[in-house]
Amino acid sequence: MSATKTKERKIVISPVTRVEGHGKVTIRLDEKGKVDQARFHIVEFRGFERFAQGRFYWEMPVIIQRLCGICPVSHHLAAAKATDLIVGVDQLSPTAEKMRRLMHLGQTFQSHALHFFHLASPDLLLGFDADPKIRNVIGVALKHPDLVKMAILMRKYGQEVIKATAGKKVHGTAAIPGGINKNLSVPERDELKKDIGQMLEWSVAGLNLLKKFYHDDIKRMSGFAAFDSNHLSIVAPDGRFDLYDGNLRAKDAAGKLIFDQVKNADYYKVIQEEVRSWSYMKFPFIKSLGPEKGWYRVGPLARVNNCDYMDAPLAEKERQEFMKLGEGRLVNATMAYHWARLIELLYSAEKIQELLNDKDLQGTELVREARHRGHPRRDQQEPVGSGARRAQEGHRPDAGVVGGGAQLIEEVLPRRHQAHVRLRRLRLQPPLHRGPGRPLRLV
């Protein structure tokens, strides 16, 4: 941390060591030493919208995941889901959907374990005020070697799930338009089954450790950086917790619904974005509440707060206990993110176990084909989904370029998405800065 003393002072905290990646906090103090402005900076400009233009649509799941080396699976699957729409496949085969779900659960399992044990546990186990030189995973290993071994093997297990489902531990290639290009072989399944019981046990142990820490220091944990907010997440049609797919639900701090069951492709009907002069980031907000009051939390806390139930018995029991923290409202304590994250870790372990016992994962219907729902191509009679088949076979299709022009949008996308895509294309044009506080019209 460094501080420069002028009339107005600025405190810079760089790097922020409790998030993966590169973050910075700047706090500007006025002449009286009061906080005038506080900002969290992250490398927000990545340019992927540009990279994607002119590329084949089936390349998207491979390109977009390069956003991150820690959580590529989420981006891989988000891009694959977008290409499902392009090829007109609304419903994947059970094998494809369950393979993708297992892949994503492997991702949340390894990522949540890494976050808690590697990034968060040094603060919790060694103390917020411990010497920064030892307040890291090596410091934790010195005092709690068994805990770090647990963390290493949980992360390793999650990566093995990803490898078995995505083909590679990092930047896999399995999710393709309309499905998946591999199933889970019996040897792969049996290898993963060997350790899932242990993973489940360790997930419970990690959660119990955090709960003990939380209750022992309840005043700080529930008060530190606690603030009311809205919460946004996806939920299944019946309100069930889901990490892979669902409809949008938003609640206010008290738990009152703001909107519910909005189809994820219709997000632009309820969410708007604005830009600020000092950042490339787009600032989303709930349309009906406006930019001042419409901001919201996402991630584990919002997901656990928003859902009606979890279809994993141990995690559901934990969710019910967790929700009592809010005393009838949602849980708005920032430190409760750790708790919610570990409930999701447990959920992931339970669902991985469930899927490993599901024979659909050894099914052979990997990709579904469908006819696109726009106008038929003038120069090509075969279904758009055939591109997926050729991608699977390793051929480069001769059609299906992203950002290739208005004609292509009309030909490839369902009619209901066309206007939106046209506007999004326009929105990619410079200038990126539109002045502070001026909302950007999306639709």
Cα 418 to chain centroid, rounded: 26
Work out whether strand 175-176 and strand 179-180 pair parallel, antiparallel, or are unpaired: antiparallel
Nearest distance in Å: CB 145, other proteins: 5
Find the shortest distance in angstroms from Cβ 304 to other proteins. 25
CB 42 → other proteins: shortest distance, Å? 13
The interface with other proteins within residues 61-100 (CB under 8 A) comprises 69-70
Q: How far is the CB of 55 from other proteins (least distance, A)?
A: 15
Closer of 19 and 254 to other proteins (Cβ):
19
Cα dist. 402→55, 65, 187, 397 in Å?
A: 5, 16, 38, 13
Least Å distance, CB 251 to other proteins, is 33
Instruction: Kindly tell me which of 119 and 401 has the beta carbon lying closer to other proteins.
Output: 119
Torsion-angle region of 110 (φ positive above 0: left; ψ -120 to 50: alpha; else: beta)? alpha
Site string for other proteins, 183-222 (x = CB under 8 A): --------x--xx---------------------------
**Cis preceding linkage at 431, omega within 30:** yes
To the nearest 10 degrees (0 to 180), the angle between helices 313-323 and 186-216 is 20
DSSP per-residue letters across 19-65? SSS-EEEEEEE-TTS-EEEEEEEE-----HHHHHTTSBGGGHHHHHG
Q: Which of 100, 169, 189, 372 binds other proteins (CB under 8 A)?
A: 169
Applying CB under 8 A, which part among 1-9, 10-18, 221-229, 385-393 lies near other proteins? 10-18
3-class state of residue 241 by DSSP: strand
Subset of 126-165 contacting other proteins (CB under 8 A): 133-134, 136-139, 141-142, 145, 148-149, 151-153, 155-157, 159-160
CB of 188 to other proteins, least distance (A): 12
Which residue, 137 or 281, is less far from other proteins as judged by CB?
137
| Nearest distance, CB of residue 185 and other proteins, angstroms | 15
Min dist CB 333 to other proteins, Å, is 24
Q: Does 437 bind other proteins (CB under 8 A)?
A: no
Rank residues 108 and 230 by Cβ distance to other proteins and give the closer one. 108
Q: Which residue has the tokens 């998030």?
A: 19
Cross-strand pairs, 40: 25
Our CB check for other proteins shows the closer of 157 and 347 to be: 157
Would you say 118 or 319 has its CB closer to other proteins?
A: 118
Starting at the edge strand that comes first in sequence, how are the strands of the sheet with 282-286 ordered? 282-286, 271-275, 439-440
Cβ 156 to other proteins shortest distance, Å: 4
Distance CA 75, CA 403 (A): 19
Looking at the Cβ atoms of 147 and 271, the one nearer to other proteins is 147
Q: Residue 77: which of 179, 223, 150 has the closest Cα? A: 179
Q: Between 18 and 28, whose beta carbon lies closer to other proteins?
A: 18
| Packing angle of the helix pair 145-166, 72-87 (nearest 10 deg) | 20
Rank residues 46 and 149 by Cβ distance to other proteins and give the closer one: 149
**If you write DSSP's letter for every residue of 145-204 in order, what string do you get?**
HHHHHHHHHHHHHHHHHHHHHHSSSSS---EETTEES----HHHHHHHHHHHHHHHHHHH
Pairwise CA distance, residues 337 & 238, whole Å: 24
DSSP, collapsed to helix, strand or coil, labels residue 71 as coil
Binding positions for other proteins, 95-124, rule CB under 8 A: 114, 118-119
| Minimum CB distance to other proteins, residue 252 (Å) | 34
Radius of gyration of the chain from its Cα atoms, rounded to whole angstroms? 23
- Cβ proximity to other proteins, 21 vs 290, nearer residue: 21
- Kindly indicate which of the ranges 14-22, 331-339, 346-354, 380-388 contains the residues binding other proteins, using the contact rule CB under 8 A: 14-22
State in angstroms the smallest separation of the CB of 161 from other proteins. 12
- The number of residues that bind other proteins (CB under 8 A) is 36
Q: Indicate the residue among 191 and 398 with the shorter CB distance to other proteins.
A: 191
| Angle at alpha carbon of residue 89, lines to 87 and 91, rounded to 5° | 165
- Contact of 256 with 330, CB cutoff 8 Å: no
- Can you give the binding site for other proteins, defined by CB under 8 A? 15, 17-18, 20-22, 69-70, 114, 118-119, 133-134, 136-139, 141-142, 145, 148-149, 151-153, 155-157, 159-160, 169-171, 191, 194-195
